[in-house]
Amino acid sequence: MSITAIAEELGERLKQARLNQNVTQAEVAKAVGINRRLVINAEKGKAQLEVFVAILVALNLTEHLELFLPKQQISPIQLAKLQGRQRQRASGQKSPDEEEDESEW
């Protein structure tokens, strides 16, 4: 599935949730404090994340965010490596070429 298709599917689900609650786009926009056009765009899958989340809040659907993207737990192996320090960024994977290019001082 393409990124566009996934975004459109999320927008369609947002629209269906709004319709199931019998709420108009204008009512959602007013509750969120945005223009109705932003609600329309969100329902097409073309919205900023903040707008999308604000609409979820207005429709009382924030509990579904836990299903959408559950909180990630640090693995026991990573925890042991970090020795209690919380990970702040990914280290990435170095290719063999990158390791050779590093200069030594």
CATH at residue 44 = 1.10.260.40
pLDDT at 72 (0 to 100):
81
Indicate the number of domains in the chain: 1
Q: Is residue 26 part of a domain?
A: yes
Q: Is residue 57 part of a domain?
A: yes
pLDDT of 83 over the 60 cut: yes
What number of residues does the chain have?
105
Q: Is residue 83 part of a domain?
A: no
Average pLDDT score, the chain: 86
Q: Is residue 46 part of a domain?
A: yes
Q: Is residue 24 part of a domain?
A: yes
Note whether 60 and 32 are within 8 A (CB).
no
Q: What gap in Å lies between CA 80 and CA 84, rounded to an integer?
A: 7
What's the whole-model pTM score? Answer: 0.69
State which residues form the domain around 57. 3-68
pLDDT tens for 5-43 read 999 999 999 999 999 999 999 999 999 999 999 999 999
Residue from 31, 29, 50 nearest 40 by CA: 29
Q: Is residue 90 part of a domain?
A: no
pLDDT at 94 (0 to 100):
67
